[in-house]
């Protein structure tokens, strides 16, 4: 992972994985791998999903004008690794 950007991990337990077959846009995948600093397709897809979920959670919080504590904001912003 690069210092500039690391995917964040949503804290949900237990985490499970499933093997699937996907049709993936190769150029988009390469862009995601570069931006996320990942090497594998799996890391790139998981990282992109994590980022999307975090973004949507932040947008919902802003739209609802939730009273977020500094601790909650720190947790949302905390860099995570796989």
| pLDDT for the residue numbered 36 | 92
Residues 6+ apart with CB under 8 A from 75: 11
Do the Cβ atoms of 9 and 82 come closer than 8 Å?
yes
pTM over 0.75: no
pLDDT at 7 over 80: no
**Residue ranges with strand state E in 1-82:** none
If one counts the domains in the chain, the total is 1
pLDDT in tens, 10-60: 555 567 888 999 999 999 999 999 999 999 999 999 999 999 988 888 888
Mean pLDDT of 62-79: 78
Range of the domain at 60: 1-15+22-82
| pLDDT for the residue numbered 2 | 47
Residue found by looking up tokens 């790139």 in the block: 44
């Amino acid at each position: 992972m690069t210092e500039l950007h690391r995917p964040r991990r949503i804290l949900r337990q237990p985490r499970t994985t499933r093997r699937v077959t996907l049709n993936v846009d190769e150029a988009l995948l390469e862009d995601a791998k570069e931006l996320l600093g990942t090497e594998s397709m799996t890391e790139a897809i998981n990282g992109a999903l994590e980022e999307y979920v975090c973004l949507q959670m932040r947008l919902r919080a802003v739209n609802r004008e939730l009273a977020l504590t500094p601790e909650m904001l720190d947790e949302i912003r905390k860099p995570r690794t796989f």
